Amino acid sequence: MAQENTEQLERPNTHFDVAIVGGGMVGISLALLLAEQQGLKILLIESQSMAVQSATQPNYSPSFDARSTALSWASRKIYQSVGLWDRLQLHLSDITQIHVSDRGHGGLTRMTADDADVEALGYVVENRWLGSVLLEHLNQSKVEVHMNSEVAELKPLSSGMQMHLKGGDSSNSELENHLVEASLVVIADGAESQTAKKLGIYSDTTSYNQTAIIANVELGKSHNGIAYERFTDQGPMALLPLADYDGQHRSALVWARPTEIAEQLMSSSDADFLQSLQKIFGYRLGRFKNIGERGSYPLALGIANEQVRRNVLLMGNSAHSLHPVAGQGFNLSLRDAAALASIVQRAREGSRPIGSLEVLEEYYQEQLSDQRNTLMFSDSLTKSFGRSSSLAALGRNAGLLTLDLIPGLRQRFARFGMGMSNTEAKHG
C-alpha cells in the first residue's frame, strides 16, 4: 500500500489537490490516472483495509469461485496508458465472440472480434487479480492512502472542501478525528453513497424487481472464448469465458431472475440449480458439471440527482449504477475516470481551478452523451428482452436477425459494446 504521510495527516487542514472517497476498483483507477500528472497531490480514503501482500509482485491465487469483471477494449486502452495492461493480461480470458439469443425464439446474432477489427471484443479478469495489480501500482505511486477511515462531515470552503475524517489505521490512533482540505473531492464509495448523502445528493433509483445470481460454472466443453447472452421473458443471463482452473472449463454466470424465483434458486441444491440453468441455457457448452459458491444482489437503475457541484464530483456507482446484462457499468466508470483525468490536466495547463464548477461542468458535458447512451442501451436491452408478449418477441427477434444479416450494423453494435462509439478518439 502507498505509504501514509503520518506527520502530514496529523496536522489539521492538510491540503490535497484531489481527495478520492472510496478505494474500490474505480477509486484506485482514478487515483492512478491522476498520478500520471506531475505535482498533483492526491489522497485516497477507504473505509476498509487495503493491505498488499507484496510491494513488488501482485498476488494471484486462482480459485474456482473467483468473481470476475468484463473489461472492454476501451478499458484496455485506458489501463495501457498507465502501464497496467502487461501485468493484467497475464491472467485474463479474451472474448473473441459474443453470442446473443432469445430463448424460445429463432432470433440470434453473433459478433466476432473480426467484425470490429480487433483481437478481442473484451476481456474477463478475476477481481482478485485486477485488485492485486491495481494495489501493486498504487503502492508504487505517489498517492497518499488513508485506510479504515470514513468521512464524518464535509464542509464547503471558498476554494475547496474540508473533510472531517473519523477513524484511521488502528496502529495510528493519533490520526483519528482530523481535518483534511481538498480542491476537488471525488465521491466513489458505491451506490447509495453515504458520503454523497451528507451533501444532500441522492440517487433516483428504479428497481427492476430482479435479483442477480452470480457464480462460476464448470462446463462440459471449452467455451472457446465465446461470451453468451441469453434472454428470457423472466430476465437475461450471461456466461462469460474464464481461464480454465485445475483442468476444469469455467464460465462466469450472471443470471437475473424475478426476486422470488431467485430466492428459490439460491436456496436450491447444486444439482437442482444446475438443472434449472441447463433448461434455460441449453447445451451449447455441454452438460454443466459443477456450480461454485453462489452470490446474489438486487438489481436497480440508479442515477444521482447531481454529479457535479463546486469542488465535488460523483463517480462510479455513486453516479450511476446499471443492470449487469451488457457488462457496461465498470467500463463506463473507467471512461469517466479517464475523462476526468484529462479535464484536470487541461485545467492545470490553463491555470484554472480544478474544482471550479466551470471545469467540472466541462467534464460532465463531455461524458453526458456516453453516460446517457450507455444507460439507455443497458436499460432498454433489459426491458425489451424482458417482455413476454408475442409482439415484443417478434420485434426483438427481427432486430437480432437484422444484426446477424448486416455486417456493418453488427460492427457498430459491437464497437458500442466495447466503449468505442463515444471515446474512440480519446482511448482508441
298: confidence class by pLDDT, cuts 50, 70, 90:
very high
> How much is the CA Rg of the chain, to the nearest whole Å?
22
The closest alpha carbon to 166, from 181, 183, 182, 148, belongs to 148
110: confidence class by pLDDT, cuts 50, 70, 90:
confident
Average pLDDT for residues 67-93, to the nearest whole number? 93
* Residues 385 and 231 sit within 8 Å (Cβ to Cβ): yes
Give the whole-angstrom CA distance, residue 340 versus residue 362: 9
Q: What is the pLDDT of residues 26-60, one digit of tens each?
A: 999 999 999 999 999 999 999 988 864 444 566 67
Q: What is the pLDDT of residues 164-198, one digit of tens each?
A: 998 865 333 444 558 899 999 999 999 989 999 99
Single-letter code of the amino acid located at 385: F
Least confident segment among 169-183, 237-251, 309-323: 169-183
In the prediction, which pLDDT does 333 show? Answer: 96
Chosen CATH of 6-58+133-204+302-376 out of 3.30.420.40, 3.50.50.60, 3.40.50.960, 3.40.50.2300? 3.50.50.60
In the prediction, which pLDDT does 398 show? Answer: 42
Average pLDDT for residues 113-129, to the nearest whole number? 87
Looking at the chain, the domain(s) classified CATH 3.30.9.10 span 68-126+207-300
Looking at the chain, the domain(s) classified CATH 3.50.50.60 span 6-58+133-204+302-376
Q: Is 28 left (phi over 0), alpha (psi -120 to 50) or beta?
A: alpha
Q: What is the mean pLDDT of the chain?
A: 83
For residue 96, CA distances in Å to 72, 123, 240 come to 12, 9, 11
In the prediction, which pLDDT does 223 show? Answer: 97
Q: Mean pLDDT: which of 127-141, 221-235, 397-411 is highest?
A: 127-141
Give the whole-angstrom CA distance, residue 94 versus residue 97: 9
**Which residues are within 8 A (CB) of 268 and not within 5 positions of it... i.e. 6 or more apart?**
276
What element of type H or E holds 16? strand 14-21
% residues pLDDT > 90 (the chain): 60
Residue-by-residue DSSP string for 116-162:
TTSS-SEEEEEHHHHHHHHHHHHHTSS-EEE-SEEEEEEEEETTEEE
| Residue 391, number of CB atoms within 10 A of its CB | 8
In the prediction, which pLDDT does 336 show? Answer: 97
Secondary structure class of 206 (helix, strand, coil): strand
Assigned CATH for 68-126+207-300: 3.30.9.10
Average pLDDT for residues 225-245, to the nearest whole number? 87
In the prediction, which pLDDT does 171 show? Answer: 36
Burial pattern 283-306, b for ≥16 Cβ within 10 A else e, equals eebeebeebbebebeebbbbbbeb
Average pLDDT for residues 150-168, to the nearest whole number? 91
In the prediction, which pLDDT does 208 show? Answer: 87
Give the whole-angstrom CA distance, residue 399 versus residue 410: 11
DSSP code for 233: T
